[in-house]
Amino acid sequence: MHFLEPEEEDYLFCPPFDWDDLFTEETFGDRLRLFYNQFNCSTRALLDAALFREIEHNSIVVGLEILCENQIVYKRTLQKYQKIGNQIRWIWPETVTQFEILVPRGSDRCGRVFKLR
């Protein structure tokens, strides 16, 4: 045997690993990625220019905020509120009851709230 070739007992064989059992709980990032992937490229471009935040009450997600970076993105995102609402209903079916599309104005934020139920 050549000295650079390891012998078979030098290898440790690990049992097969099931990655699905490792992460049983979905995170906000997982759901947000799923939400993002449901849209076409023009809507994704709008969502790329936005920040997202879950609103929680007693550790249950009850709302989603979409903070647009400027007025132009805000107006275009408002035009797609029905598509956005349908995807939120599908991804957060039991918990999210409303979502907000916001835009910063000075030191404050303004926007619209949409009820899902």
Confidence of residue 22 (pLDDT cuts 50, 70, 90): low
Say whether pLDDT at 13 is over 60: no
The domain ranges of the chain are 26-115
**Model's pTM, two decimal places?**
0.73
Are 97 and 62 within 8 A, CB to CB? Answer: yes
In this prediction, residue 29 carries a pLDDT of: 86
What whole-number distance in Å separates Cα of residue 107 and Cα of residue 78? 21
Are 67 and 104 within 8 A, CB to CB? Answer: yes
The CATH number, out of the four listed (1.10.10.10, 3.40.605.10, 3.30.470.30, 3.30.300.180), of the domain defined by the range 26-115: 3.30.300.180
Report the sign of the C-alpha dihedral through residues 47, 105, 96, 23, in that order.
positive
Weakest mean pLDDT among 15-29, 43-57, 81-95: 15-29
In this prediction, residue 36 carries a pLDDT of: 92
In this prediction, residue 67 carries a pLDDT of: 93
pLDDT tens digits, 76-99? 999 999 999 999 999 888 888 999
Q: Which amino acid is at 63?
A: G
Are 98 and 112 within 8 A, CB to CB? Answer: no
| 3-state SS assignment for residue 22 | coil
Are 51 and 40 within 8 A, CB to CB? Answer: no
What whole-number distance in Å separates Cα of residue 13 and Cα of residue 105? 59
Residue with the larger pLDDT of the pair 91 and 5: 91
